[in-house]
Amino acid sequence: MRKIGAFILISVMILAVFTGCSNAGTVSVASSTYQPLIDNYGEQLPQYLDKQYYYDGKPVSIQESNFYFINAYLDLSTYAMYGYFPANAKGYLDLSAACSEPEYATYGEYFVEYAENSLESTCILLSRAEAAGVTVNDEIKASIDTSLNDMRTNYAAPAGKTLDDYLQAYYGPGNDEATFRTILERYYLADAYSKVYCENYVFSDDEKYVPYLRYALFYAPETSDQATKDKALETATAMKNACSTIDDLTGLAQNAQAAGTVYDQGDILVPRGRMVAKFEEWAYGEGRTEGELDIIYAPEYGYFVVGYLGKQEQTKSDLDQIALQALSQSLLDEINAGTHDLHSKDATVSSLSNTEVLTVVFLTLAGVAIVAVVVILIANAMKKNKDTGSKGKSSSKPASKPSNSKNKAAKKPQPSKKRQEEEEDDDEDEEYDEDEDEDEDDE
């Protein structure tokens, strides 16, 4: 079983929920019809289902593993719908297509590794929940009741189906309400453990407090002509010289922005890995003193007048991400240490090469905090703005990702030529606001 991992962000489709492992006996559904699934997803998916998996010697319910693989398929198909991966006639991922990654012959192999590593990560979370004494409480049961009633009322009934028929049509044969409820119990149980982990995570000072800068951007990237660069430096220098203290920078920058001289300005936290290199390098430079002003040049954007405001506590959202990354890394460490055994006796799995992937934990779907432990091989494919930057925009993602001795960096899947051209057009209209970029992608 492949042991792989790294960090990025993924989109989750509505109703795409993940499952943990069941200790229940194996239920064979080989004779059941897959026609409803074929009607919904096409003919390729069923050949990857109905495989018996084992986690640490215990069988995973076939309904659960089928359900798990289907949701993995939905996640990857999100990128096919955006044009990053090849799509079949129904718009889902074409599993028979040659994979752009040389380590995989087809996207079917790519999909299997995605799904299997997701399954192992989920199993580990549930094992931890059991060890920590985290149980399915009344609140979780009420949330599951709400989810099932919502499916019955808003999805099954309008389609003229019973809830059992609906679940089997979208999540695989044998997935009736009782089975699905068990799946959701494990799903929410993993979420409950994730919450406990994050609530009890102890942040170091370096994690909790980061540099806080005031800046004014005079747009003149390295692709600009020399006259533009010279003018940007001249006006940046004039603004810096006009500041008797760092407090003066705000008013001067706001006026210059209104006049069109300054492209962007404001105050911003600088967590590591969120800004272009020169911006971050200055923020974390040794000997920074509060109130210090300087001019730096970032080739992606131009000249910045920057001022050091000291260190400030990160937002709760950013701190949550740090805790989640720590949880993800701990899962990856456990996987790469070979602590557990996930295998299938009847699944046809190619000999796949090590690849960087993502473990994402504790996503929010439909306003409900739920765990979704996912592995994916996309590494920033959905980000319109790359680490090299675009007009007036800093990268909000790390330039490099953690790895370990068992992993090697994978080449990132590339969008089609048409999609690349669309991205280039989009970049021309982007502004220097990394949080806005993240919000757009998360949606």
Classify the C-alpha dihedral 10-143-367-13 as positive or negative.
positive
- Pick from 315, 350, 380: which residue ends a domain? 315
Residue 190: pLDDT band with limits 50, 70, 90? confident
The model carries a pTM of: 0.64
331 CB contacts (<8 Å, ≥6 apart)?
A: 5, 121, 124, 125, 359, 361, 373
Same domain, 107 and 195: yes
pLDDT score of 122: 83
How many domains does the structure of the chain reveal?
Answer: 2
- Is residue 11 included in any domain, yes or no? no
pLDDT score of 332: 83
Mean pLDDT across 52-63 = 91
| Whether the predicted pLDDT of 386 surpasses 60 | no
Q: What CATH number corresponds to the domain at position 274?
A: 3.10.50.40
Q: Of 155-164, 385-394, 423-432, where does the model show the most confidence? A: 155-164
Same domain, 47 and 173: yes
Q: What CATH number corresponds to the domain at position 333?
A: 1.10.4030
- Is residue 190 included in any domain, yes or no? yes
pLDDT digits (tens, 9 = 90+) for 102-134: 889 999 999 998 898 888 888 999 999 999 999
Same domain, 40 and 172: yes
- Is residue 325 included in any domain, yes or no? yes
Mean pLDDT across 248-262 = 97
Rounded distance between C-alpha atoms, residue 327 and residue 344, angstroms: 26
User: In terms of DSSP H, where are the helices of 268-402?
Assistant: 277-283, 316-336
Rounded distance between C-alpha atoms, residue 19 and residue 371, angstroms: 9
pLDDT score of 120: 86
Segment among 130-134, 175-179, 257-261, 336-340 with least mean pLDDT = 336-340
More confident residue, 382 or 280: 280
Measure the CA dihedral 427/428/431/435, to 10°.
-10
Same domain, 173 and 52: yes
pLDDT score of 174: 86
Rounded distance between C-alpha atoms, residue 228 and residue 218, angstroms: 10
| DSSP label of 15 | T
- Is residue 391 included in any domain, yes or no? no
pLDDT score of 165: 92
pLDDT digits (tens, 9 = 90+) for 61-115: 988 888 889 989 999 999 999 999 999 988 999 999 999 888 899 999 999 988 9
Same domain, 80 and 166: yes
Please state whether beta strands 264-269 and 293-298 pair in parallel, antiparallel, or not at all (unpaired). unpaired
- Is residue 254 included in any domain, yes or no? yes
Same domain, 330 and 355: yes
Same domain, 348 and 232: no
Same domain, 51 and 184: yes
Same domain, 179 and 249: no
pLDDT score of 407: 30
- Pick from 370, 391, 413: which residue ends a domain? 370
pLDDT score of 45: 92
Same domain, 77 and 127: yes
Residue 314: pLDDT band with limits 50, 70, 90? very high
Domain that holds residue 262: 206-315
| Whether the predicted pLDDT of 354 surpasses 60 | no
DSSP string, 104-127: -SBHHHHHHHHHHHHHHHHHHHHH
- Is residue 430 included in any domain, yes or no? no
| Whether the predicted pLDDT of 294 surpasses 90 | yes
pLDDT score of 379: 25
Same domain, 125 and 157: yes
- Is residue 112 included in any domain, yes or no? yes
C-alpha distances in Å from residue 302, one per residue of 115, 223, 224, 282, 383: 43, 10, 9, 14, 22
- Is residue 54 included in any domain, yes or no? yes
More confident residue, 337 or 221: 221
| Whether the predicted pLDDT of 324 surpasses 50 | yes
- Pick from 370, 387, 411: which residue ends a domain? 370
CB atoms within 10 A of CB 419: 14
Give the percent of the chain with pLDDT over 70. Answer: 71
Same domain, 180 and 66: yes
Residue 312: pLDDT band with limits 50, 70, 90? very high
Segment among 31-40, 245-254, 354-363 with least mean pLDDT = 354-363
